Structure 1
Amino acid sequence: SGACSSCHKDTTNWKNATFNHSNIGGQDCSACHNPPANHYSGACSSCHKDTTNWKNATFNHSNIGGQDCSACHNPPASHYSGACSSCHKDTTNWKNAGFDHSQIGGQDCSACHTPPANHYGGACNSCHKDTSNWGNAGFNHDNIGGQDCSACHTPPGNHYGTPCDSCHKDTGNWGNVAFRHPWFDIHHEDTNGDCANCHPGGDYSQTDCVTCHAQNGDSAISDKGLWLGPPSR
């Protein structure tokens, strides 16, 4: 019932408001705020210390004793059914959790994890060796025999249309690519630079000598004895 301007200072945006809670004395928070159904029943100020931003709250879990976590927290459907504290060690940040996969024995990974649509159909642990970080995976391409790379990998639209292994020699890291330019290797055999030196901006369209030899291009080409075909008419 106070003056609007005591909270709404910005006349261009009335939603940008701040409230000085010291003006209401000892009035109970629930007179203005409606907490969610599973909200902690203790005193509001035990968590909400910042009166200018009530969402900036911390909760001391030592206050609830041995109460079960599910009394306040709703885990997702595929959540591990063991004791919460077996993973959530940090009571100040429950999202900072580590999981010991040795506790689930021989249970199949798919019971908890959903792989992407084009995921390799072999055993999970053939690639995911680090149980503390499943994203840290290595794949042994020797296991798939002569299967075409496109069965798992989708090349970009401007990708070179030749067998993958003509460029991707390192199966441990497909990003480590070497491309052989026959005419370039003959006359620049001592050059082993980054692709971007000739293909700036990721443009891998066809290029020729005059792309680099702009000054006296004809003489630079003829000096090397390179025939580029009959002149265009």
Structure 2
Amino acid sequence: MSRKRVNFYPGLPPRLRPFTDLDIVCGVDEAGRGPLAGPVFAAAVILDPKRPIEGLRDSKKLTAARRDELAPQIRAHALAWAVCQASCEEIDNLNILHATMLAMRRAVEALRTVPTLALIDGNRCPPMDIRAHAVIEGDDKCHAISAASILAKTARDAELVRLHAQYPQYCFDQHKGYSTALHLERLRLHGPSPVHRRSFAPVRTLLQVDLFGPGAAQDAFDGAQCA
């Protein structure tokens, strides 16, 4: 009995695919552009057509438990995969967009198999030595991007749990650095930690407390949340 052929590109009709069967295609995605703390992560994955993985889709549409089930399967079955990051310092120095592009490029360059094309989730590509093509909402159109999305997300969540052990007062294990009400409350109470992104408005505002006084900083902090 012949093996059923898997469509690794459910959202990319053949006429729109920027590659041929001769290309070695990797999918690339990031996790953690929006949070106020922690690095931004990116992953790159080259899937093995002979070892398809059931259930790949945008990591944001999966439960944490399902992501944790799929991540080891991706690492075990993919032809190649890599997860890299850009630090908080790089985010503050470069801005979040350029730091994200840097993490993506690092992930592609870390692959043990050199791809000929990178499919990047989103609307822009990092500068690389190989061809790259941006795919808007690609994490649900290309299984390799879906796989990268899952690896980046699970790796970043694990890093925020690790940071929680260092800075338990911020509850990073619960909100993963995003600007939830709990996180903002802890920021007001304890001030920014060494792993907070100082260029992000709520954090930057709290760092001005010594210059403007507690009342002015609080007013500005409240305004930053609404911006």
Query: Could you say whether these structures have the same fold, taking a TM-score greater than 0.5 normalized by the shorter chain as the test?
Result: no
Specify which structure has the bigger relative contact order, considering alpha-carbon pairs within 8 angstroms and separated by 6 or more residues.
2
With normalisation by structure 2, the TM-score equals 0.25
Structure with the largest fraction of strand: 2
Structure with the largest fraction of helix: 2
Q: Which has the larger radius of gyration?
A: 1
With normalisation by structure 1, the TM-score equals 0.25
